[in-house]
Structure 1
Amino acid sequence: MNLVSLYGRVANDLELRYTNSGKAVVQFSIAVRGYNDKSNFIRCQAWEKRAENLANYFHKGSRIGVTGQLVSGRYDKDGQTHYTQDVVVNTFDFVDSKQESQRLNHGNDEAIDTAASRTNSKIGNTKRGPFENNGNQIDISDDDVPF
């Protein structure tokens, strides 16, 4: 069985391209924690609608989960043979919240976030866990959904 499951951060900005026949393709790397906490960079590729969705909703630094199949390839360049291994993405999962994703996409506003959390704690607004609502129904708006 050829099944790869990865969880990590997108290591580069995703650039959507199209083949001569009009198929969408995106290639990117995922940084994952490896042996002795060293980072491994795994090359991935996605095609057609998956490629378009990935390019629209993910960027460098986004946390992502993917499953796919490992494919090997080779090409010749300047008289030398190069071997490749990529994960062809079958499914992907959003890991960041919409707010976290937007913060990463628009730069590091850590100072603003820190000041806001200090202000919220002064007026008694403490941050609760994502599933904590004292037994009441949780209202989710369209703005809470990342797609």
Structure 2
Amino acid sequence: MNQVMLVGRIAHDLVLRTTTTGKSVLSFSLAVPQAFSADDKADFLPCVIWNQGAENMMKHCEKGMLVGVTGRLQRRMYESENMKNYIVEVIVSDIRFYAKAQKKPVQEPFFMKPDIQQPIMPREGG
């Protein structure tokens, strides 16, 4: 049996591609936290989703979003610079959307720091 279930955050911006045969494909990395890690380490796992799933994910997901994926592991080979490279990736069959990306609130300073390079000039007439 080859089945994997993962929950993690989308690690980079999504890019939807179309194959020469007209199929939609979306590749992404899923940052999955390592259990029992003292310093919040994560594994970055390559994932691929095809067809309507790829199009839906492109519409509804963004970098940093928490998702759950179900799929199977696939090992494939590709060549670059006359070298054979092997990769194991998750072929996603189902995706669940759990939470939007965590946006850090922009905090405005509540005071202005003085510019110590400029001397303070006394007011005239005062």
2:96 is the counterpart of 1:93: yes
* TM-score, normalised with respect to structure 2: 0.77
1:67 corresponds to = 70
Distance in 1, Cα, partners of 2:83 & 2:17:
26
Within the candidate set 56, 60, 63, 2:59 is matched to 56
How many positions carry a matched residue from both structures? 105
Shift of residue 24 of structure 1? 0.4
String of CA shifts for 1:30-69, please: whole Å, max 9, x gaps: 0001252421000000000000011111110000000000
Distance in 2 (CA, whole Å) between partners of 1:26 and 1:111 is: 35
| Matching of residue 2 in structure 1 with residue 6 in structure 2 | no
- Cα RMSD (Å) of the superposition? 1.8
Q: Which residue of 1 aligns with 2:105?
A: 109
Q: Deviations over 1:74-115 (max 9, x none)?
A: 11211211001110101011101xxxx3xx48x533659xxx
Does 8-17 or 31-40 show the bigger shift?
31-40
The equivalent of 2:27 in structure 1 is 27
- CA distance in 2 between counterparts of 1:3 and 1:111 reads 44
Structure 1: 5+ residue stretches without partners: 113-147
Query: By percentage of residues, which structure has more strand?
Result: 2
- From 69, 83, 86, the equivalent of 1:83 is 86
Structure of greater relative contact order (alpha carbons < 8 Å, 6+ residues apart) = 2
1:136 corresponds in structure 2 to none
Structure showing the higher helix proportion among its residues: 1
- Where structure 2 has 5 or more consecutive residues not aligned to the other structure, the ranges are 109-126
